[in-house]
Structure 1
Amino acid sequence: MIATGSATNRADLARTLGLPPSTITGKIAQLLRAGLVEERGSGDPTGGRRPRVLHLRDDAGVMLAADLGRSHARLALLSMSGTIVDARTIPIDIGAGPHGVLALVAAALRVLVAGSGHPVVRGVGMCLPGPVDTARGMVESPASMPGWHRFDVVGWLADEFDAVAVVDNDANMMGLGEHATLDRRAAASRVRVGSMLFLKAGASVGCGIVINGHVYRGATALAGDIAHVRVAAAAGNPCNCGNSGCLETVVGAAGIVAGLRAAGAPVRDLPDAVRLAHDGDPRATTQLRQAGRTVGDTLAAVVNFFNPEVVVIGGMLSTVEPFVAAIRSQLYESCHPLATTALRIQQTEAGLDAGVLGIGQLCLRRALAQLY
């Protein structure tokens, strides 16, 4: 609670947890002696003297986070308060298999640690673009990640960094990171985001479901996987999952690039398609607007079922206005009116860092649970 800012002083903790002040005082004393928290400054008075504000100590160690895509990885070093201290993006090839990719990512993370002046790594987290068995920390039957099936990623990371390690799905962690970003900005007004649906739209497509600050994963951690929902626009298209007609075959990178090439556009990959759309190329605009409609139609069923407060659109395609506008339009057209009465539909505020913020947040929780 201190880490997320949901409680900033002893009175907050006592009130939120329903514990007597003496118990809170004892717990805080343990954290102070362990060097994990500190009290500094003054908060707003609540009828008496100004309370001292609790913070996690930034010098208590650092967290490492990696958000792996198919062709790049976003890496970050975070303080114990969950703030990004340093970050960078490196090229990778997820299809090259886990050994080479993990070694490359680990080396780049060590560079971040070396430059930070904080040698103690408390935890390391990684989010991956495929179904993740979070209990065992490994990818389960990924559609386009040869060699990753049931590879012990969490064990590899724990051994490499001698620290707490966590692994999760990228859309889930982007959702958690976005939720943390929105929650911090809403803290002053005390209006928290209760339920949120995060759409990751990039090389692949997926959803993260966040309820009261926690990811909803479902019985087998597959909740939010809209990539393999069958849609009319993809009828007959073979998918890597073994079925045909899946949403991702028309709105994922491969489908978008194939459609643009068929229209005569000079594209090699999704970034090319995005650049063309930003330049106003009518072929790219048309293609991505149609992709937005298709995604929006699928998302409408999810919104009707889940009835979230907020839908956030993230990933590379979230920067393309025709794509975002088409999703927004389709949601308002296809959802039940009550589902959209108070619904906020917006582009990501966390941007490229949503994934590393999310996995960093999850890793922080695990590390603190182990330390205390």
Structure 2
Amino acid sequence: MPDFGRFWFTGGVEADVITTNTGSPGELLRLLRDGRPRTRAELVVETGLARSTVRARLDSLLDAGLITDGGNGASTGGRPASRLVFNARAKIALAAEVGATHATIAAADLTGALLATDKLDLDIAEGPESVLPLLITAWRELLRASGLDQLPLAGVGIGLPGPVEHSTGKPNNPPIMPGWDGYDVPARVAADLGVPVLVDNEVNLMALGEHATCFPHAQDMIVVKVATGIGSGFISNGALHRGAVGAAGDLGHILAPNGGDAHCRCGNTGCLEAVASGPAIAAKLHASGLDAQTSADVVALVRAGNLEAGQAVRQAGRDIGDVLAACVSMFNPSLIVVGGSVALAGEMLLAGVREAIYRRSLPLATENLAIVPSQAGIDAGVLGAATMVVQHALSPAVIDHQLTG
């Protein structure tokens, strides 16, 4: 495996503590990442650095292909000055959102925009030595099919359906992932692809994707995924909040007020997931005589106008809202985004969530609270995974390490 050192595999944790000069190449790139072309003279004025310093920093970024000539500016009497602009196609970020039975993979540019996507079937219970080679093969085929295989890779971002210790990229006692606990996912993938690999919980990455692409101005928000399980991701002060060991946002295993003695796959009873997840709703409908086995069946029944299915989904929304109401009181978000396969049932789920939150939370906490459906949709997870790679790969500390290390 290429020896990138621990610096490369920690999702930016090490980058946060590395001192970066304000006039470094990485800091100049940060300015140019807004997409606005600038001349060298404009950058001298904007940064306050010496002309020779700016020239040297820009030359290193040009040599690395991270910026390019964006054309000439207006002439002031002499030869027009060239304008430099961020090159979003300098490298490619690979991303994957892995679920229990399927994965979405993608290739993205250095703005995090998706250039190509694909889906594949898998079984997370088969373990990392089976699943990870499938992802690697699928990424390579995606790059070939989309004509992106000649571009260098910036890194790989992977979302997994369980708790992840983000600082190491290792799953941490994931309940539905036998054989994955403590497995060194970054090392295994980097051994084949030779680039930095970052791993996180899939719902954390959904939150990152929704925030980066749809709600960039929301500083405090919660993203909830309602599907086979129920999870959430927290954006706090504009940054993803993971908690001490990556377990923040495990909404599905909080005791639900109406959970009763319903058995949960985590081993406890009364968990929110045991009464309000897609399979839980389907089981209730099946017991009443309806043909429902999966979340997709539930959604289909609701869309077909089945009254009992609609009522069951709305009640699931109330159960979720009861738990979220405590989060609203503790965290005071300005935005809650609801996604996942069950959310495809539409307003029924959202109506139940809103009803419970507004009933249980104080007016001060809900006065400016918006509760909305996912805007990134099924791509939220891979958008978040790509964003995670881009944020790390283009952080000033990492850029300066690459150009001067």
Query: TM class by shorter-chain length?
Result: 0.7 to 0.9
Equivalent AA in structure 2 for residue 35 of structure 1: G
Q: Does 1:96 align with 2:122?
A: no
1:271 matched residue in structure 2: 296
Deviation at 1:54, TM superposition (A): 3.2
Distance 1:214 1:25 in 2: 33
What are the superposed Cα offsets for residues 253-272 of structure 1, whole Å, 9 maximum, x if unpaired? 33122111111111221111
Deviation at 1:371, TM superposition (A): 4.3
Distance 1:327 1:51 in 2: 54
1:293 matched residue in structure 2: 318
Distance 1:27 1:278 in 2: 57
| Aligned partners of 1:66 and 1:74 also within 8 Å | yes
Gaps of 5+ in 1: 44-48, 185-191
Deviation at 1:328, TM superposition (A): 1.6
What are the superposed Cα offsets for residues 80-135 of structure 1, whole Å, 9 maximum, x if unpaired? 22110011222222122222222222211111111232322221111011010111
Counterpart among 155, 159, 166 of residue 191 in structure 2:
159
| Aligned partners of 1:182 and 1:193 also within 8 Å | no
1:246 matched residue in structure 2: 271
Distance 1:315 1:36 in 2: 36
1:200 matched residue in structure 2: 225
Counterpart among 309, 324, 333 of residue 359 in structure 2:
333
1:46 matched residue in structure 2: none
* Structure possessing the higher radius of gyration over alpha carbons: 2
Distance 1:288 1:3 in 2: 47
What are the superposed Cα offsets for residues 47-67 of structure 1, whole Å, 9 maximum, x if unpaired? xx9995732331x22111000
> Once superposed, what is the RMSD of the aligned Cα atoms?
2.6
How many pairs are equivalent?
Answer: 355
Distance 1:266 1:273 in 2: 9
Where do 1:1-372 residues align within 5 Å? 2=30, 8=36, 20-22=48-50, 26-38=56-68, 40=70, 52=83, 54-58=85-89, 60-119=90-149, 120-183=152-215, 192-320=217-345, 321-369=347-395, 370-372=398-400
Gaps of 5+ in 2: 1-28, 74-79, 401-405
Larger RCO (alpha carbons 8 Å, 6+ apart) = 2
| Aligned partners of 1:122 and 1:164 also within 8 Å | yes
Moved more, 64-73 or 109-118: 109-118
What are the superposed Cα offsets for residues 205-233 of structure 1, whole Å, 9 maximum, x if unpaired? 11111134421111222111111101132
Q: Once the two structures are aligned, what percentage of the paired residues are identical?
A: 36
| Aligned partners of 1:134 and 1:167 also within 8 Å | yes
Give the 3 Å change call, closer, same or farther, for CA 4–275 of structure 1 in structure 2: farther
Give the 3 Å change call, closer, same or farther, for CA 39–318 of structure 1 in structure 2: farther
| Aligned partners of 1:2 and 1:54 also within 8 Å | no
What are the superposed Cα offsets for residues 171-229 of structure 1, whole Å, 9 maximum, x if unpaired? 11000000011256xxxxxxx22111111111111111113442111122211111110
Distance 2:91 2:141 in 1: 16
What secondary structure is seen at the aligned counterpart in 2 of 1:111?
helix
TM-score (norm 2): 0.81
